[in-house]
Amino acid sequence: MGASLVVFASRQEFSALFPKVSAVVASSTPVLVSSAVEVAIGGVGLTDFSANLARFLSQKKYERVFLLGICGAYPESGLQLGDVVRVGTEVVADMGVQDRQGHFVPWSQVTGKESVYKGGDIRDLPLTLATFPQVAGASVNCCTGTQYLASRRSSLFDVQVESMEGAAFFAVCNAFRVPAYQYRAVSNIATDRDESSWKIPEALDALKTQVLTQLL
């Protein structure tokens, strides 16, 4: 594999996997951690992540870009805490309009055009990275906090996991014409919000063991 950029959304995710690398520095510029891998922090949410990733990609050409992080899984997905998946497609699940009755109408129904952002061709990946279970992701500005919203989002968009950056990641990489691959570990079930049930350290450990070690 050639030169790769591995980007994270949050400092929490980054520092758990790279405790000896300054998160402050990685937030401003990619840091070289092996002969062909640089790591960086893009920021949480669609807006900050888009702006920072675009800045990174405008400064250097990479052969491929990876987004690593945690995610919430919808109850209907069948995924368990600690599962590691490759997110192949993304939609922005809270972009739309509200009708006069107060119901949410997805943007795709407003425009009549399906807005699905896609990752790179897995045939360009080593077999060990290409064979992870593939899921569809929902990118949101407001994380799910109720069972009702979880069911609504998963059924409306036929998605299995939720994060806050995936669609931005694919959109920016596609604009720069660089293959993009997203891997996430399930840290919580996206349902009635209960932070005591979350397994963030365990999810990040699984991500490190199963994915990151193959990239470095």
Please tell me the CATH superfamily of domain 4-215, with its number.
Nucleoside phosphorylase domain (3.40.50.1580)
pTM of the model: 0.94
Nearest to 43 by CA among 13, 73, 65: 13
pLDDT, tens digit, 9 for 90 and up, residues 34-78: 989 999 999 999 999 999 999 999 999 999 999 999 999 999 999
pLDDT, tens digit, 9 for 90 and up, residues 4-36: 999 999 999 999 999 999 999 999 999 999 989
Nearest to 115 by CA among 94, 85, 143: 94
Spell out the domain ranges in the chain: 4-215
Q: Is the dihedral of CA 146, 148, 154, 157 positive or negative?
A: negative
| Model pLDDT, residue 62 | 96
Q: What is the mean pLDDT of residues 74-95?
A: 96
Helix (H, G, I), strand (E, B) or coil at 76: helix
| Model pLDDT, residue 2 | 62
φ, ψ dihedrals at 80, nearest 5°: -115, 160
